[in-house]
Amino acid sequence: MDVKTYNKLKVGTLVKVDVLRYKDLDSYKSGIFDAVVHGNKDDDKRCHFYKQGYDYGLGIVQELNTLGACFLEGAE
């Protein structure tokens, strides 16, 4: 494939992009914060992004505990 053909394909190709709204990003960050700092989940927050952030935060806590940081345990 020559460069002209490649450039035409590259320009004409649509790429799916997931864009987080501010509210979704805030929920994600809140989930991480609750897992890392508080160690428990806020039952009032049922948003998908909050749950993803909480799970990510638990992963951070587990990794810190593995490294010997004596970090608090998150409740699931």
d(CA 48, CA 13): 30
Q: Name the residue type at position 19.
A: V
pLDDT at 75 over 50: no
Region 45-66: mean pLDDT is 89
Region 44-54: mean pLDDT is 89
Domain boundaries, the chain: 20-76
Q: How far from chain centre, in Å, is Cα 10?
A: 29
Region 53-75: mean pLDDT is 79
Q: Which residue has the tokens 């049922």?
A: 46
3-state DSSP helix/strand/coil % of the chain, to nearest 5: 60, 0, 40
What proportion of the chain, given as a percentage, has pLDDT over 70? 64
Q: How confident is the model at residue 28 (pLDDT cuts 50, 70, 90)?
A: very high
With CA atoms as reference, report the closest residue to 76 among 48, 25, 59, 49: 59
